[in-house]
Amino acid sequence: MNENGIGAAVRRKEDRRFLMGRGNYVHDISRPGQVHAVFVRSPHAHAKLRSVDTEAAAKAPGVIAIYTGADIVTANLKGVPCAWGIVGKNGKPMKEPAHPLLAVGKVRHVGDPVAVVIAETPGLAQSAGELVAVDYEPLPAVTGADAAVKAGAPLIYDDVPNNLCCDWAIGDKAVTDAAFATAAHIAKVDLVNNRLVPNAMETRAAVAEYDPGTEDYTLYTASQLPHVARVLIGVLILDIPEHKFRVVAPDLGGGFGSKQVVYAEEAIVTWAAGQLWRPVKWVSDRSEAFLSDAQGRDHITHAELALDKDGKFVGLRVSTFANIGGYVSTFGPNIPTNLYGPLLAGPYTTPAIYCEVKVVFTNTVPTDAYRGAGRPEATFVLERLVDIAAREMELDRVEIRRRNFIAKGVFPYQTPVMLQYDVGDYEATLNRCIELSNWHDFEQRRRQSAQRGKLRGIGMTTYIEACGLAPSRLAQQLGARGGLFESANVRVNPTGSVVVFTGAKNHGQGHETVFAQLVSTMLGVPFDKIEVVQGDTARSPFGLIRVWLAGAARVTPSLAQIVDELAWRLLAAGLPVMRVTLSISTLHPQFLGASYVWWLPTQRTVEVMIGHEVGELIPYAENPVLRVREGGETIRRRIDVADDRLDFPVLHDLKAGGGTDFLALPIPSGQGRRNYLAYVTGRAGGFTEDEIVSLSSVAEPLAIATDWYSQRLIATNVLNAYLGPKTGPKVLAGQIRRGSGEEIAAVLWSSDLRGFTAFSDLVPGTRVIEMLDTSFDEQAKAIESHGGEILKFIGDGLLAIFPAEGEAGAAQAAANALAAASQALAATRKLADGAREPGQAPLPMVVALHYGTVLYGNIGAARRLDFTVIGPAVNLVSRVEAVAKSLNQPILVSDDFARVHGGQLRSLGFHQLRGLEKPHELFTPETPAEG
Amino acid sequence: MQKISLTVNGKSVTAAIEPATLLSELLRDTLRLTGTHIGCDTSQCGACTVHVDGRSIKSCTMLAVEAETRDILTIEGLAVGARLHPMQQAFHENHALQCGFCTPGMVMSALDLAATVPQPSDADIRHWLEGNICRCTGYQNIVKAIRAGAAAMQANRNGGQA
């Protein structure tokens, strides 16, 4: 229990600084020596840029630099990238024209940036900006998505016919049309979901600085997704590697989606800071925000709902024009498609749905994520249709929804538009909503209002949200160009306080409070001892690979899967690996270790067990695995060289497989051991030095995951070797306390060698062990292949059980045990026949079998246990074995065994067993095993 | 450059500024009191609200030189040490803020209301907040907080007399 933990109504941690004026928004950040940027923007929706003359502006007071589209082209800066591409009908990818940081040749919307002026103060930059002379040749413009696709509409891009970015669809058209053909009623609606401006209270802002000494960039930016900004602005636009680019999103004055978009302005101030060696600050003013922040919605939709005579939905057809503005924005095309069509099922059982979306360029500010992003648009369409259908069919609004809800009992429910719902109880939610809203008293309230001359209305809507677009693999199938995931580090300080580092960025939701509550509950640490740090790429985890290894990788079920996932993640991160090998030591009696090899051409990871002999076959000097594991070396070899320069045999194979570069490095493991990690690339020229750094950086976090597995494997192998494959896992699973045992019925096996004492007196000790090993090997093979489990070796004796469940199980266990005994005897006899001199052959053996109930579990001293069996049955079987020796019978079984065995056995009469009162009848198999 | 002297949060301040400097710029850029925010620069959003001689004004539309000899109170001047002003405390208690950007203006505006109308009704509060925009909260909790804050201030005054 925790008074401030999950579910408690605590006061927010972040409030104090906001209430005291101590928040830290980008607007508030000033860096020493900073200069100020102001953008010159197009006043035209569509125009050719004849010329941009900066001469007069450059002479204005305080001006430090002016950059235009030409400078961006000269500097070879990439355009603003799209992070989520879409694929239309017939697999046709969307049109994705370049989005230059500053307009080149043409402007495509009012506000399109044409130049940036950087000056000592914002005022001076503003004044100079007014002196930039831009010669525009206005072109006809089109702003409506439906108008833009019509023949003859002005073309925003010469090579995008009809301004159609993508003709997208989801669902089965034929099935849906068929449903409409037989419908009792069709409700129709035409809707305009108007464009809007997100307008966070804090306008966008950025301060960038560059350290010429370390060549590091820092960007303070009002971003909801600082990690995404780092990759898109740093790596994709400016070619600054991630480790040289820190993005800090401090307190954020609202975002609503518009601040998760990556924009040209932030990229330009970052680049300019590197050019000028002075911090550059830009703060959007409110009017500018209307012209440059990504906007929301802007759909024109015609939709139809088909119903049967009872008001059950049988089909839904939706056709939408989605306006994405003048450029493809970061997530722009994805919003009215992947985040729209799949939500059209809502909470209803509509069996056939078809939705097509024309994603259209116009001369407007680009649209992107805004509050719900696509999903409220889908809800609006669906719920308007439901209300219209209810009215037209004279059904109650509540009733028509109830009739069509997906019932509580049918989850998981597969919709006809891709999504599968895991769980839901819409009826219960609706009932609660009706209760809370006093829905049924509404008519009374309406009448009361009418008496006062007022109009009163009430509305109802359902809403299905698809949040957290994951897992990454699915997101990528939908066109996401990066993994979508979140991660956090929780650091416990030496004196007990806790810091939570998250990649998620708060912009008003109260993460500092909620995450602290979660951690408080989970760790039992007081709420006020927990601090949440977010929004700084240098402090908080991205999680792309390193964090995955330290976290999620450990819940990955096997090392093979870890290697597989690691390889794909490395590829996704741009590291050109062709083969990834992880080799771990397993302390297995038969194997030196296990290797997991991922190989790009097969797209698979295979597990290879390495025998101890491999270490002996390839000498140390030529064996990279041994040199890494035992010598701790890091080995780098270019493979694209002459054969005589390849100093490891394995490199020849890798070269033949198309490899060009090889890197092997040690992964630290417990108790001074090392594991082995190797990469091969097939890229011409091999790995770059930066890639070597990145690939090497994986070793340490990988060690955590690897060690966990290898320790577990070692424990399993050691326990299985000493306790057996059935008992080992029981002990490992926690059955390690004395007294924790169970009564089981089993066939007991007791075997011994004849003449062992004499033999061991005559031959040297190592020869004795060799002989014993040979004999035990054969017995073990026979026992284990027949479902038995060896419990212990006592000198030359062996105790094993064949567990039996029920009567049928007992018969089976008896048959198995007898078969195993015959096999072991035959095998040892064969070895004896083949032996060239006495002393090489295994001694003859006897096996006694008995059926009984034993206590199976931990027995021993409190701190030193044996996992074995005890009970009178154990005594009995060893007595039978003694008789077998004296009778010179290789196989002798008890009366209880004979009873459950049920088959043909030859009685050898009653025998008095030592220490037992009554004589027991003993048997041997009908066909004597020893001939 | 023009030299001006004024009182800010109880302290005498002298500064040399461009005549065109706005009061908001003087506070934020010269005096580094960044708790006063700029949301629109056109007197619409109210994030920049401060008190001049006890009355709330939007500092983005007042020239700094007009503040010569006057007494300015900003959000930074409300708390006494670590103790929040009752209005700040009421915002905290009633979850009247989310991203916090409009909050300083809301609080400063609310204080003027509480001084003008000691026991404001919800209608008084809503009408008064016409000039303060919040994009996160939907205002419900802000109204609740101001009512509670004004009541707490009233109780403090009565308590002081008793």
Which residues contact residue B80 at a Cβ distance below 8 angstroms, ignoring those fewer than 6 apart?
none
- Which residues of A are less than 8 Å from B38 in CB distance? 27
What is the arithmetic mean of pLDDT over B18-41?
Answer: 95
- Which residues of B are less than 8 Å from A534 in CB distance? none
Strand A498-502 relative to strand A530-534: parallel, antiparallel, unpaired?
Answer: parallel
User: HSE on the CB side for A586, CA within 13 Å?
Assistant: 25
Q: How far apart are CA A793 and CA A28, in angstroms?
A: 77
Query: Which chain B residue lies closest to A198 (C-alpha atoms)?
Result: B135
| Residue carrying structure tokens 């006061």 | A11
Q: In the sheet where A47-53 sits, what is the strand order?
A: A106-107, A47-53, A133-138
On average, the pLDDT of chain A sits at 88
Is B7 in CB contact (< 8 Å) with chain A?
Answer: no
Q: Quick one: pLDDT at residue A619?
A: 80
Residue-wise pLDDT for A140-199, tens only, equals: 999 999 999 999 999 999 999 999 999 999 999 999 999 999 999 999 999 999 999 999
Q: Quick one: pLDDT at residue A284?
A: 97
Name the H helices within A441-510. 442-451, 472-477
φ, ψ dihedrals at A38, nearest 5°: -135, 135
| Residue carrying structure tokens 């999903």 | A375
pLDDT surpasses 70 at A738: no
| Residue carrying structure tokens 């999680």 | A543
| Residue carrying structure tokens 């007196």 | A761
Q: Quick one: pLDDT at residue A556?
A: 60
Q: Quick one: pLDDT at residue A347?
A: 97
Contact A344, A355 (CB under 8 A): yes
Q: Quick one: pLDDT at residue A238?
A: 94
The answer to whether B39 contacts A201, with C-beta atoms less than 8 Å apart, is yes
The answer to whether B133 contacts A201, with C-beta atoms less than 8 Å apart, is yes
The answer to whether B135 contacts A509, with C-beta atoms less than 8 Å apart, is no
Residue-wise pLDDT for A817-835, tens only, equals: 999 999 999 988 888 887 7
On average, the pLDDT of chain B sits at 94
Is A27 in CB contact (< 8 Å) with chain B?
Answer: yes
Q: How far apart are CA A618 and CA A626, in angstroms?
A: 9
pLDDT surpasses 70 at B162: no
Contact A321, A145 (CB under 8 A): yes
Q: DSSP characters for A120-179?
A: SSHHHHHHHHTT-EEEEEE------HHHHTSTTPPPSSTTSGGGEEEEEEEE-HHHHHHH
Does residue A217 sit in helix, strand or coil?
A: strand
Q: Quick one: pLDDT at residue A912?
A: 87
Q: Quick one: pLDDT at residue A614?
A: 66
Q: Of A525, A85, A555, which Cα lies nearest the Cα of A329?
A: A85
Q: How far apart are CA A399 and CA A638, in angstroms?
A: 72
Which residues contact residue B158 at a Cβ distance below 8 angstroms, ignoring those fewer than 6 apart?
none
Instruction: Categorize the per-residue pLDDT at A253 as very low, low, confident or very high, splitting at 50, 70 and 90.
Output: very high
CA distance A121 to chain B (A): 11
Q: Of A486, A22, A19, A440, which Cα lies nearest the Cα of A226?
A: A486
Q: How far apart are CA A200 and CA A204, in angstroms?
A: 8
Q: How far apart are CA A507 and CA A856, in angstroms?
A: 60
Query: Which chain A residue lies closest to B92 (C-alpha atoms)?
Result: A15
* Residue in B45, B84, B134 nearest the CB of A19: B84
Is B56 in CB contact (< 8 Å) with chain A?
Answer: no
Q: Quick one: pLDDT at residue A839?
A: 62
- Which residues of B are less than 8 Å from A250 in CB distance? none
Instruction: Categorize the per-residue pLDDT at A543 as very low, low, confident or very high, splitting at 50, 70 and 90.
Output: very low
Name the H helices within A27-156. 55-58, 69-74, 122-129, 145-148
- Which residues of A are less than 8 Å from B97 in CB distance? 12, 15, 18-19
What is the arithmetic mean of pLDDT over A54-78?
Answer: 96
The answer to whether A27 contacts B42, with C-beta atoms less than 8 Å apart, is no
- Which residues of A are less than 8 Å from B99 in CB distance? 200-202, 251-254, 507-508
Is A528 in CB contact (< 8 Å) with chain B?
Answer: no
* Residue in A15, A16, A201 nearest the CB of B101: A201
Does residue B13 sit in helix, strand or coil?
A: strand
Q: Quick one: pLDDT at residue A546?
A: 46
Residue-wise pLDDT for A641-696, tens only, equals: 888 888 888 899 889 888 999 999 998 876 677 888 999 999 888 998 888 888 88
pLDDT surpasses 80 at A842: no
What is the arithmetic mean of pLDDT over A715-720?
Answer: 79
Is A286 in CB contact (< 8 Å) with chain B?
Answer: yes
| Distance from chain centroid for Cα B84 | 14
Residue A512 pairs in a beta bridge with none
Question: How many percent of chain A have pLDDT more than 70?
Answer: 94
The answer to whether A203 contacts B91, with C-beta atoms less than 8 Å apart, is no
Strand A741-753 relative to strand A797-804: parallel, antiparallel, unpaired?
Answer: antiparallel
Q: How far apart are CA A198 and CA A260, in angstroms?
A: 12
Instruction: Categorize the per-residue pLDDT at A541 as very low, low, confident or very high, splitting at 50, 70 and 90.
Output: low
Contact A93, A87 (CB under 8 A): yes
Give the pair of three-digit tokens for residue A526. 């007081």
Q: Quick one: pLDDT at residue A837?
A: 67
Instruction: Categorize the per-residue pLDDT at B41 as very low, low, confident or very high, splitting at 50, 70 and 90.
Output: confident
Contact A654, A663 (CB under 8 A): no
User: HSE on the CB side for A647, CA within 13 Å?
Assistant: 9
pLDDT surpasses 80 at A765: no
Q: How far apart are CA A861 and CA A854, in angstroms?
A: 19
The answer to whether B103 contacts A19, with C-beta atoms less than 8 Å apart, is yes
- Which residues of B are less than 8 Å from A509 in CB distance? 98
The answer to whether A19 contacts B88, with C-beta atoms less than 8 Å apart, is yes
Q: How far apart are CA A897 and CA A813, in angstroms?
A: 10
Q: How far apart are CA A812 and CA A831, in angstroms?
A: 29
Is B35 in CB contact (< 8 Å) with chain A?
Answer: yes
Residue A361 pairs in a beta bridge with A325
* Poorest-pLDDT segment among A23-32, A83-92, A309-318, B108-117: A83-92
Which residues contact residue A448 at a Cβ distance below 8 angstroms, ignoring those fewer than 6 apart?
none
Q: Of A726, A717, A739, A734, which Cα lies nearest the Cα of A866?
A: A739
Residue-wise pLDDT for A366-405, tens only, equals: 999 999 899 999 999 999 999 999 999 999 999 999 999 9
Q: Omega before A412 cis (within 30°)?
A: yes
pLDDT surpasses 70 at A1: no
Q: Quick one: pLDDT at residue A211?
A: 95
- Which residues of B are less than 8 Å from A24 in CB distance? 34
Contact B35, A23 (CB under 8 A): yes
Contact A472, A478 (CB under 8 A): no
Contact A487, A515 (CB under 8 A): no
The full length of chain A comes to 931
Kindly report the number of other CB atoms within 10 A of residue A733's CB atom.
8
Q: How far apart are CA A750 and CA A794, in angstroms?
A: 10
Q: Omega before B86 cis (within 30°)?
A: no
Q: Of A196, A33, A203, which Cα lies nearest the Cα of A120?
A: A33
Q: Which residue has the higher pLDDT, A320 or A703?
A: A320
- Which residues of A are less than 8 Å from B30 in CB distance? none
* Residue in B29, B35, B95 nearest the CB of A22: B35
Residue-wise pLDDT for A202-233, tens only, equals: 999 999 999 999 999 999 999 988 888 888 89
The answer to whether A21 contacts B74, with C-beta atoms less than 8 Å apart, is yes
